[in-house]
Amino acid sequence: EIVLTQSPATLSLSPGERATLSCRASQSVSSSLAWYQQKPGQPPRLLIYDASNRATGIPARFSGSGSGTDFTLTISSLEPEDFAVYYCQQRSNWPPGFTFGPGTKVEIK
Amino acid sequence: QVQVQQWGAGLLKPSETLSLTCAVYGGSFSGFYWSWVRQPPGKGLEWIGEINHGGSTNYNPSLKSRVTISVDTSKNQFSLSLKSVTAADTAVYYCAREDLVGATNAFDYWGQGTLVTVSS
């Protein structure tokens, strides 16, 4: 089973600052990694797939990078609506299923 | 436009069976796998299991003994049953569509979520 870890658990930043979030996999997932944003009371929203491709409608300030076991989600300049929790996710072929990282909360400093 | 709506009982007693249903409107139902994901209050996301239109399922090994996911293709609906619930099963339960986006299996459409509370 592939385990995803995320760091930091909490990131305290001001609007306009750059946010850098990390996701590490316990074994290689190639580039098959997704990132989600979740705001209170809402389901997660797909941001990034294939580690670096923005999903439909996602602003260009969101970018992803990495492959293998180390991945990064970068928000170039935080907007007020970006303060939320971010999860990484991968799918395993065996046993078949999905795992999520524990999440990084981006909060207003 | 794909819409995913879910419903089910929100308050259960320990040992009862959780039952939730998700309906899909718009888009294709048969071309995808459909999943259930849960989130305990203040915690992260946990995948429960998935089903396709043909009824093929996969479950999280940690829940497999208590979970059944079924499908009704005539109504474009799928359902979750979780038996013998305890307080540890208290969570918001989501249904979601899986899609192969690029080379990544990801969830692109989600239900609104149902808070299920287990309490005596």
Q: Are B97 and B36 in contact (CB under 8 A)?
A: no
Q: Are A47 and A36 in contact (CB under 8 A)?
A: yes
Could you tell me the pLDDT band of residue A34, with boundaries at 50, 70 and 90? very high
Question: Which SS3 state, helix, strand or coil, does residue A38 take?
Answer: strand
- Per-window interface: A 41-80 vs B, CB < 8 A: 42-46, 49-51, 53, 55
**How far is Cα B69 from Cα A12, in angstroms, rounded to an integer?**
40
Could you tell me the pLDDT band of residue B8, with boundaries at 50, 70 and 90? very high
Q: Starting from the edge strand earliest in sequence, which strands make up the sheet with B18-25, in order?
A: B3-8, B18-25, B77-82, B67-72
The pLDDT of residue A1 is 86
Query: What integer is the mean pLDDT of B26-54?
Result: 95
Contact yes or no for A30 and B106 at CB 8 A: no
The pLDDT of residue A74 is 98
Here the tokens at position A82 are 């970006």
The pLDDT of residue B97 is 97
The pLDDT of residue B75 is 95
CB contact, 8 Å: B36 with chain A?
no
**How far is Cα A59 from Cα A81, in angstroms, rounded to an integer?**
12
**How far is Cα A6 from Cα A71, in angstroms, rounded to an integer?**
9
Query: What integer is the mean pLDDT of A25-54?
Result: 96
Statement: residue A4 has pLDDT above 90: yes
Report the residue from B47, B94, B101 with minimal CB separation from A43. B94
What confidence tens digit (pLDDT) does each residue in B63-104 have? 999 999 999 999 999 999 999 999 999 999 999 999 988 888
Give residues with Cβ within 8 angstroms of A57, minimum separation 6. Answer: none
φ, ψ dihedrals at A108, nearest 5°: -75, 130
Report the residue from A51, A96, A100 with minimal CB separation from B44. A100
Chain A contact probe: residue of B3, B99, B104 with most A CBs at under 10 A: B104
Statement: residue B59 has pLDDT above 90: yes
What confidence tens digit (pLDDT) does each residue in A43-94 have? 999 999 999 999 999 999 999 999 999 999 999 999 999 999 999 999 998 8
**How far is Cα A82 from Cα B117, in angstroms, rounded to an integer?**
29
Look over chain A and give the mean of its residue pLDDT values, rounded to a whole number.
97
The pLDDT of residue B76 is 96
Peptide bond preceding B41 in cis form (omega within 30 of 0): no
**How far is Cα B3 from Cα B1, in angstroms, rounded to an integer?**
6
The pLDDT of residue A93 is 87
Statement: residue B27 has pLDDT above 90: no
